[in-house]
């Protein structure tokens, strides 16, 4: 191809701003080459540089506790769990690729996050995901046709949902990692901008972890894994734009995943790291060779000389620009210790993978790219990367105008329904609350035979063979709360994920986050962003769960509206004794049901009904404020539940969340479909019954316990000033709350377990 003239108008097409272009000229002392312009534009894109978010991210607690490396230092966070073991975990978005090609977009999202984990030397032991789509429930049953023009919006959402799930399943299942937990929400605001966030968790011995730092002048640099093709060129820039009709025509940007090659790459990578031949290693995600060479060099304060003629190519006639920016999947850059080349080559050969030396480490801090005898790029790595010379912006902030109306809305004006049985059944079968087995039964959630708590409950739990330990993991975010109050919503996302993990008997250790927002140049969006971060930071400090890293996804926005601000939290918890793992459902008749939490009153309930699933699903409104949250109290509550599970005083623990008290209690009855246990509940009302039953009051946990343990439970709760309210007993095969609600369990289970299937299939 003939390369166009380099000037600002070209740079603008690459997504660069005028002062950014001028800065490039200043850094280089000359006009960049075409390849260099591509390198700068992709490295300075939002996706790679975090230029509009890094100032906010730095306010988060990013070290301390059990963290072995600080946030952002390596491909993923690393947390000490004792016994010489560490957990690597991270969450990442693949929203834009999934919007145009849901199957491959989701699949390569999973592939990318798995590579981040095993590049650290950690074997992936669990995958999770957090998904958002437009509403699916108002279309025809089974309608999932892809042609946009001929189908309802619900049909389009179903098409995206179905293929995203299939993409995640096919990739993870073949790779051999259990997909053990997740969340799926359906809201109109995600109609044009679905969110697909994938998380992976891996385990590594302390002395076997790898670094993404290049070092050792003269050490050879290898490219390993798949060959390089033309796929995904400028994917990182693509992820930094709004979705528009043009996005459809950008389909070639979407990469295709190959989970089998990824599995080979996993085994070979772990083997080569253990062999001691590796100095540094980084996977090639966004911006491929460009990103890996510059980031590794910058981190190691060295340079690299790379000869692109040696890179194994899949397509003929590729230019230097295309090779540098290709986002072909399943590749890694490896710096090998000089003299140990053959060890690395033999290992990759065993797994039938490419392992080709393409350059070496140099002292001069320059990345020099040669191709066909020509120096195509000569750039200082430090100036390309986040934390180095990449631009950093502080954006304008403005409190969103909609707050006022939402908060002024009189929730008492909502009509009180007569038949609360019907309301409960409707909520339990609404897609946001209903059981997601239609989704997780397409994921192999048991491979590697470690999954102790299967998907479908609060958090999922995997045991660690050869130890007494287990990990509890959960992804969580209620975007509606964050929309109504970004600060409280951010805190709640952290608190709820921690509470979920604590309900399984695990101590929350650390989080990873995936921050999905609209266009950061919109001051209202940026307000949401900075307030949500403030909330996350405050909650993490109180709960002592530092942020290990994650990902920011802006531009989840179409012409006139953004998605709900959706900062998804991935929480990691540790269980020291696998025998003390706790589950959420009632176990047997004759147990006492108690609620741990804060005392509620008419005012608190009226606040906490705001933004609820009840107000949304039953009344079609998104009004009011987010529920209140007291992080100090949350911390005490979690200490109580951990103490109770540790002393084996409770038989089940489940927190109150979407759908409120009544839905949570119903879930306790039916969450073990093989052994459902009914209950009789007595509630003292103050104010409206519907509000009391469905308010999403935070920091509340429903437990069931043998009558003989109640005294002890009360004593422990009192030590921490946590209120305990005896609320009923487990009994029979009906679900009863006073006289308002009385339903057979099989009726509530029917909608809860089958509604998504009924919507998705004929």
Partner 1 sequence: MYISKINISLRKTILDPQGKAIEHSLKSLGFEPIVDTRIGKYIELKIDAVSKQEAEKISEEACKKLLANPVMEDFTFEVTEIGGTE
Partner 2 sequence: MAGVKAGVVVFPGSNCDHDIYYILKHIMNTDTEFLWHKEQGIGDRNLIILPGGFSFGDYLRCGAAAKFSPVMNEVIRFANNGGVVIGICNGFQVLCETGLLPGVLLRNENLKFVCKTVTLKVENNKSIFTGDYEIKEEINIPVAHGEGNYYCDSNTHMELVGNNQILFRYTDNPNGSLDDIAGIQNINRNVFGMMPHPERASDKILGNTDGYRFFKSVVESIQ
Where in the sequence numbering do the catalytic residues fall? 47, 94
CA-to-CA distance for 51 and 725, rounded, in angstroms?
49
Look at residue 97 and give the partner it binds from partner 1, partner 2, none, a contact being a CB closer than 5 to 8 Å depending on partner kind: none
Chain residues 563-592 in contact with partner 2, contact rule CB under 8 A? 578
Residue 234 binding partner per list partner 1, partner 2, none, with a CB distance cut-off of 5 to 8 Å that depends on partner kind: none
According to the binding rule CB under 8 A, does residue 317 interact with partner 1?
no
- Least distance to partner 1 from the beta carbon of 108, Å? 23
Other residues' Cβ atoms within 10 Å of the Cβ of residue 513: 32
Q: Nearest Cα to 372, choosing from 434, 320, 295?
A: 320
Identity of the residue, 84 or 142, whose beta carbon is nearer to partner 1 in the bound complex = 142
In whole angstroms, give the CA distance from residue 157 to residue 490. 26
The CA distance from 482 to 464, in Å, is 35
CB 461 within 8 A of CB 471: yes
Judged by CB, which is closer to partner 2: 212, or 270?
270
DSSP class of 63: S
Q: Which does 326 bind (CB under 5 to 8 A by kind): partner 1, partner 2, none?
A: none
Q: How many C-beta neighbours within 10 Å does residue 654 have?
A: 24
Q: Which of residues 446-485 bind partner 2 (CB under 8 A)?
A: 446-449, 451-452, 463, 465
Q: Which is nearer to partner 2, 145 or 447 (CB)?
A: 447
CB nearer to partner 2: give 350 or 394.
350
- Partner from partner 2, partner 1, none binding residue 397, C-beta < 5-8 Å depending on class: none
Closest CB 174 distance from partner 2, rounded Å: 4
Binding mask 251-280 for partner 2 (x = CB under 8 A): -------xxxx-xx--x-------------
Residue 352 binding partner 1, by CB under 8 A: no
How far is CA 274 from each of CA 200, 209, 284, 335, 343, rounded to the nearest angstrom? 21, 9, 20, 14, 11
Among positions 77, 169, 518, 751, the unique one binding partner 2 when judged by CB under 8 A: 169
Q: State phi, psi for 708 to the nearest 5 degrees.
A: -65, -15
CB of 753 to partner 1, least distance (A): 23
Task: Go through 85-99 and write b for each residue having 16 or more CB atoms within 10 A of its CB, e for each that does not.
Answer: bbbbbbbbbbbbbbb
Task: Break the chain down into helix, strand, coil percent, rounded to 5.
Answer: 40, 25, 40
H helical segments located in 119-243:
153-175, 235-238
- Ordered alpha helix ranges (H), 69-221: 95-100, 102-118, 153-175
Closest residue by Cα to residue 173 from 91, 256, 105, 260:
260
Beta-bridge mates of residue 354: 225
User: Binders of partner 1 among 134-153, rule CB under 8 A?
Assistant: 143, 145, 147, 150
H/E run at residue 199: strand 195-205
SS3 category, 676: coil
CB of 260 to partner 2, least distance (A): 3
Residues β-bridged to residue 281: 334
Residues paired with residue 130 on neighbouring β-strands, in sequence order: 183, 197
For partner 2, which is the closer residue by CB, 113 or 575?
A: 575
Minimal distance in Å, beta carbon 505 to partner 2? 14
Q: How far is the CB of 173 from partner 2 (least distance, A)?
A: 6
Compare residues 6 and 174 and give the one whose CB is closer to partner 2. 174
Which residues inside 150-179 make contact with partner 1, applying CB under 8 A? 150
Number of residues near partner 2 (by CB under 8 A):
34
CB distance 565 to 521 below 8 Å: no
Q: Is 499 in contact with 602 (CB distance < 8 Å)?
A: no
143's contact among partner 2, partner 1, none, with CB below 5 to 8 A by partner kind, is partner 1
Q: How many residues touch partner 1 (CB under 8 A)?
A: 5
Picked from partner 2, partner 1, none, the partner binding residue 402 (CB below 5 to 8 A depending on kind) is: none
d(CA 533, CA 497): 16
149 makes contact, choosing from partner 1, partner 2, none, with CB < 5 to 8 Å by partner type, with none
170 binds partner 2 (CB under 8 A): yes
Name which of 760, 52, 738, 17 is nearest 395 in CA terms.
Answer: 52
CB of 148 to partner 1, least distance (A): 12
Instruction: Report the partner that residue 443 touches, choosing among partner 2, partner 1, none (CB closer than 5 to 8 A by kind).
Output: partner 2
Nearer to partner 2, 404 or 465 (CB): 465
Task: Specify the stretch interacting with partner 2 by CB under 8 A; choose among 317-325, 375-383, 439-447, 693-701.
Answer: 439-447
**Residue whose tokens read 């060099």:** 297
Smaller CB separation from partner 2, 354 or 442: 442
Which residues, 306 to 365, sit near partner 2 by CB under 8 A?
350-352
Which option in partner 2, partner 1, none does residue 521 bind, with CB closer than 5 to 8 A by kind?
none
Strands (E), 54-157: 67-69, 77-82, 85-93, 123-133
Beta-strand pair 557-558/561-562? antiparallel
In the shown chain, the binding pattern of residues 26 to 65 toward partner 1, with x for contact by CB under 8 A and - for none, equals: ----------------------------------------
> Burial level of 304, CB count in 10 A (0-12/13-18/19+)?
buried
Residue 175, contacted partner among partner 1, partner 2, none, CB below 5-8 A by kind: partner 2
Give the nearer residue to partner 2 in terms of CB position, either 279 or 461: 461
Dig out the tokens for 573 from the structure: 């918890």
Binding interface with partner 2 (CB under 8 A): 166, 169-170, 173-176, 258-261, 263-264, 267, 350-352, 437, 440-449, 451-452, 463, 465, 578, 761
Binding interface with partner 1 (CB under 8 A): 143, 145, 147, 150, 762
């Amino acid at each position: 191809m003939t390369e166009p003239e380099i000037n600002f108008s070209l740079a603008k097409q690459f997504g660069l701003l005028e002062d950014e272009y001028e800065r490039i000229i200043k850094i280089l002392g000359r006009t960049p080459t075409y390849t260099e312009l591509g390198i700068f534009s992709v490295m300075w894109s939002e996706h790679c540089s975090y230029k509009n978010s890094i100032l906010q991210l730095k306010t988060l607690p990013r070290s301390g506790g059990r963290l072995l490396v600080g946030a952002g230092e390596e491909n993923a966070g690393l947390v000490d769990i004792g016994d010489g073991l560490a957990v690597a975990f991270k969450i990442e978005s693949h929203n834009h690729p999934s919007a145009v090609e849901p199957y491959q977009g989701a699949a390569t999202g999973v592939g990318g996050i798995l590579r981040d984990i095993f590049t650290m030397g950690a074997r992936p032991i669990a995958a999770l995901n957090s998904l958002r789509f437009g509403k699916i429930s108002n279309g025809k049953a089974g309608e999932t046709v892809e042609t946009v023009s001929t189908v309802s919006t619900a049909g389009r959402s179903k098409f995206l949902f179905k293929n995203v799930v299939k993409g995640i399943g096919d990739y993870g299942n073949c790779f051999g990692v259990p997909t053990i937990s997740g969340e799926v929400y359906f809201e109109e605001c995600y109609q044009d901008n679905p969110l697909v966030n994938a998380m992976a968790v891996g385990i590594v011995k302390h002395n076997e972890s790898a670094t993404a730092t290049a070092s050792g002048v003269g050490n050879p640099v290898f490219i390993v894994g798949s060959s390089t093709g033309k796929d995904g060129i400028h994917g990182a820039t693509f992820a930094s734009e709004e979705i528009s009709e043009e996005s459809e025509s950008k389909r070639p940007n979407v990469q295709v995943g190959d989970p089998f090659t990824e599995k080979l790459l996993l085994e070979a990578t772990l083997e080569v790291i253990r062999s001691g031949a590796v100095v540094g290693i980084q996977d090639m995600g966004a911006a491929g060779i460009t990103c890996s060479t510059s980031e590794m060099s910058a981190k190691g304060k060295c340079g690299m000389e790379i000869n692109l003629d040696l890179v194994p190519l899949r397509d003929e006639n590729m230019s230097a620009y295309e090779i540098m920016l290709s986002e072909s999947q399943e590749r890694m850059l490896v710096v090998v210790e000089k003299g140990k080349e053959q060890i690395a080559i033999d290992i990759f050969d065993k797994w039938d993978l490419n392992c080709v030396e393409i350059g070496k480490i140099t002292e001069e801090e320059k990345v020099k790219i040669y191709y066909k005898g020509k120096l195509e790029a000569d750039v200082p790595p430090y100036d390309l990367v986040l934390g180095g010379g990449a631009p950093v912006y502080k954006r304008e902030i403005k409190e969103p105008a909609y707050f006022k109306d939402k908060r002024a809305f009189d929730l008492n004006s909502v009509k009180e329904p007569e038949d609360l049985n019907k309301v409960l059944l409707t909520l339990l079968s609404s897609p946001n609350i209903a059981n997601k087995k239609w989704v997780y039964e397409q994921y192999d959630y048991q491979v590697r035979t470690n999954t102790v708590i299967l998907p479908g409950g609060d958090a999922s739990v995997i045991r660690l063979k050869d130890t007494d330990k287990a990990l509890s993991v959960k992804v969580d975010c209620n975007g509606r709360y964050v929309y109504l109050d970004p600060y409280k919503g951010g805190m709640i996302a952290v608190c709820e994920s921690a509470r979920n993990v604590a309900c399984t008997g695990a101590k929350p250790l650390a989080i990873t986050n995936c921050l999905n927002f609209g266009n950061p140049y919109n001051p209202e969006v940026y307000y949401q962003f900075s307030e949500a971060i403030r909330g996350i930071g405050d909650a993490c400090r109180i709960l002592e769960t530092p942020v290990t890293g994650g990902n920011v996804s802006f531009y989840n926005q179409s012409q006139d509206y953004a998605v709900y601000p959706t900062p998804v939290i991935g929480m990691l918890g540790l269980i020291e004794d696998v025998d003390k793992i706790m589950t959420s459902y009632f176990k047997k008749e004759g147990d006492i049901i108690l609620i741990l939490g804060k005392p509620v009153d008419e005012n608190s309930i009226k606040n906490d009904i705001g933004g609820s699933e009840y107000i949304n699903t039953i009344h079609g409104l998104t009004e009011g404020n987010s529920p209140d949250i007291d992080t100090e109290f949350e911390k005490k509550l979690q200490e109580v539940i951990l103490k109770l599970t540790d002393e084996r005083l409770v038989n089940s623990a489940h927190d109150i969340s979407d759908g409120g008290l009544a839905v949570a209690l119903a879930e306790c009855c039916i969450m073990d479909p093989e052994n459902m246990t009914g209950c009789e509940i007595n509630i003292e009302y103050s104010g409206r019954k519907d509000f009391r039953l469905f308010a999403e009051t935070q920091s509340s946990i429903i437990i069931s316990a043998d009558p003989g343990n109640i005294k002890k439970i009360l004593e422990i709760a009192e030590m921490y000033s946590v209120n305990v309210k005896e609320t009923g007993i487990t009994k029979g095969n009906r679900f009863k709350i006073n006289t308002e609600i009385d339903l057979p369990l099989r009726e509530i289970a029917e909608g809860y377990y089958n509604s998504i299937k009924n919507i998705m299939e004929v």
